[in-house]
């Protein structure tokens, strides 16, 4: 399990970030996911591709009061809660 962190995106916040295969939140992974999080927060989830393998579409699902964005090809994901 990763250590939770809070990442601000303009007027939205994404809390409890988890990324695949990391013991701690990796800042480089957060940077890679930033555009994806921005697009989801802006209400444009269909315009995004995986920041690692460029696969489309990404899977976006609500899991236990959190949002999970994952790639079906490379299996990388980010999970947390959007806060207004």
Residue 63, preceding bond cis, omega within 30 degrees? no
Q: What one-character DSSP code corresponds to residue 47?
A: G
HSE-CB at 26 with a 13 A cutoff on CA atoms is: 13
* pLDDT at 5 (0 to 100): 43
pLDDT tens digits along 12-68: 455 545 545 544 457 788 888 999 998 988 888 888 999 999 999 999 998 888 889
* pLDDT at 75 (0 to 100): 92
Q: What is the pTM of this model?
A: 0.68
Alpha helices in 9-78 (DSSP H): 27-41
Strands of the sheet with 59-63, listed across from one edge? 6-9, 12-19, 77-83, 66-70, 59-63
């Amino acid at each position: 399990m990763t250590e939770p962190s809070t990442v601000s995106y303009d007027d939205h916040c994404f809390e409890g970030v988890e990324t695949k295969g990391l013991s701690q939140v990796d800042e480089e992974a957060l940077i890679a996911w930033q555009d994806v999080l921005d697009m989801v927060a802006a209400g444009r989830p269909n315009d995004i591709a995986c920041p690692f393998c460029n696969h489309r579409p990404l899977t976006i699902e609500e899991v236990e009061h959190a949002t999970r964005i994952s790639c079906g090809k490379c299996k990388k994901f980010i999970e947390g809660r959007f806060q207004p």
